[in-house]
């Protein structure tokens, strides 16, 4: 595969998609141009046309819009586009494949190395309440469909950078069990919460907010209420190793992951080695962005609600406060328990077309 006929995706925090001059055309580009070379001038909005020898798009997230046509990629340019000395500080470029012979030779599937299997999928319809176990689920641009779309806000914290009511303040929230009344429509479904007393209440019922505390109110965020990134992943080996170090088996629900992986091989804390890579899971692609920095929430046992400060102390002392990883969806799709987890090989795996 030559540079003249492919797009390349570098799975790092400062990632680059190199688009070459054969087999691709610019559909549209929009953005703010911040530096124009003296020998050439560009308008604020570039006209569609054929690409030059090479363009490098540097961005942290590659996301085609939901209604993107087949064979189309869109990239949100949160840092810069470099084009012969001209830089865009933000904007969007959409690319589509032409019917050139070389472009059509892009592989339909990617080689990769299996690093594990999905053994559990968990959705949290309400932030900091109990998880809903799933056999399969849709991964959207905003994480697991229906995940953390609702959250409760503490009284007097509306202007806070972290206003959420969580297990840290009220450990008993782990015993409130939300579920989607229409699980086949996760982002439209009413959400019902079963209280520890066994009463079913709609998440917007004032009685539920009153039960959680004075002045507490609920909000909905269609993009999800996430502390850092939309997806959390951890391996069973990591949980077992931490349990061995603190001298007690640990419930993986302490760490509130969306994806739990039984990793292959024998490496300790294997997900650390996936940071900067892209995982193919079922129909979806997930970029592993960073290690998951932990807080005091992990001290709370989700079954007994008792606190054990030794858990976080061990993570801080031995793991720089990090356990598990955060990720983002770079290609939506369905995932299921039992799916293989494929890590893309090398620093620049070829990005196949969306079919």
Residues 6+ apart with CB under 8 A from 139: 145, 231, 281, 284, 286, 329, 332, 333, 334, 335
pTM: 0.68
Q: Where are the alpha helices (DSSP H) in the chain?
A: 206-212, 236-246, 310-319
Q: Single out the residue of 294, 185, 280, 163 nearest to residue 239, CA to CA.
A: 294
Buried-exposed string 205-237: b where 16+ CB fall within 10 A, e elsewhere: eeebbebbeeebbbeeeeebbbbebbbbbbbeb
- Specify the pLDDT at position 345: 56
Domains of the chain (ranges, CATH numbers):
3-105 (no CATH), 115-343 (2.40.33.20)
CB atoms within 10 A of CB 10: 18
CA 232 from chain centre, in angstroms, equals 7
Q: Which residue has the tokens 């997900």?
A: 271
Please tell me the number of Cα atoms within 13 Å of 346 on its side-chain side.
9
- Specify the pLDDT at position 1: 39
Q: Single out the residue of 321, 148, 172, 288 nearest to residue 227, CA to CA.
A: 148
- Please check whether residue 281 is in contact with residue 335, taking contact to mean a CB–CB distance below 8 angstroms: yes
Distance CA 177, CA 192 (A): 8
- What does the DSSP 8-state code read for residue 353? P
* Residue-level pLDDT, tens digit, the chain, 355 residues: 333 333 333 333 222 333 333 333 333 333 333 333 333 333 333 333 333 333 333 333 333 334 332 222 333 333 233 333 333 333 333 333 333 333 333 334 457 899 999 999 999 999 999 999 999 999 999 999 999 999 999 998 877 888 999 999 999 999 999 999 999 999 889 999 999 999 999 999 999 999 999 999 999 999 999 999 999 999 999 999 999 999 999 999 999 999 999 999 999 999 999 999 999 999 999 999 999 999 999 999 999 999 999 999 999 999 999 999 999 999 999 999 999 999 985 443 333 333 3
Distance CA 134, CA 137 (A): 7
Residue 106, SS3? coil
Please tell me the number of Cα atoms within 13 Å of 108 on its side-chain side.
1
Strand 7-9 to 15-20 pairing: antiparallel
């Amino acid at each position: 595969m030559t540079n003249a006929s492919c797009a390349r995706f570098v799975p790092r925090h400062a990632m680059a998609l190199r688009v070459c001059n054969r087999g691709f055309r610019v559909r549209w580009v929009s953005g703010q141009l911040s530096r124009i070379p003296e020998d050439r001038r560009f308008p604020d909005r570039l006209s569609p046309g054929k690409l030059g020898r090479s363009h490098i798009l540097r961005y942290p997230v590659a996301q085609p819009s939901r209604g993107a046509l087949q064979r189309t990629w869109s990239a949100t340019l949160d840092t810069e586009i470099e084009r012969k000395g001209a830089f865009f500080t933000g904007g969007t470029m959409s690319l589509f494949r032409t019917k050139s012979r070389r472009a059509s030779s892009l592989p339909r599937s990617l080689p990769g190395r299996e690093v594990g299997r999905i053994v559990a999928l968990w959705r949290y319809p309400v932030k900091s309440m109990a998880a809903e176990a799933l056999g399969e689920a849709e991964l959207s641009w905003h994480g697991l469909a229906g995940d953390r779309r609702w959250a409760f806000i503490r009284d007097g914290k509306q202007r806070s950078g972290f206003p959420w009511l969580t297990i840290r303040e009220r450990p008993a929230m782990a015993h409130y069990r939300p579920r989607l009344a229409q699980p086949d429509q996760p982002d439209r479904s009413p959400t019902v919460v079963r209280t520890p007393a066994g009463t079913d209440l709609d998440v917007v019922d004032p009685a539920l907010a009153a039960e959680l505390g004075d002045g507490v109110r609920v909000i909905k965020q269609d993009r999800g209420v996430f502390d850092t990134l939309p997806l959390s992943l951890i391996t069973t080996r990591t949980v077992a190793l931490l349990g061995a170090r603190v001298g007690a088996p640990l419930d993986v629900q302490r760490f509130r992951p969306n994806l739990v992986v039984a990793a292959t091989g024998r490496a300790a804390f294997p997900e650390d080695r996936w940071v900067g890579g892209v995982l193919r899971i079922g129909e979806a692609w997930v970029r592993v962005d960073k290690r998951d920095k932990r807080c005091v929430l992990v001290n709370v046992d989700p079954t007994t609600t008792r606190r054990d400060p030794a858990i976080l102390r061990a993570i801080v002392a031995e793991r720089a406060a990090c356990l598990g990883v955060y990720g983002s969806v770079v290609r939506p799709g369905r995932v299921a328990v039992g799916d293989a987890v494929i890590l893309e090989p090398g620093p620049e795996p070829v990005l196949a077309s969306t079919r």
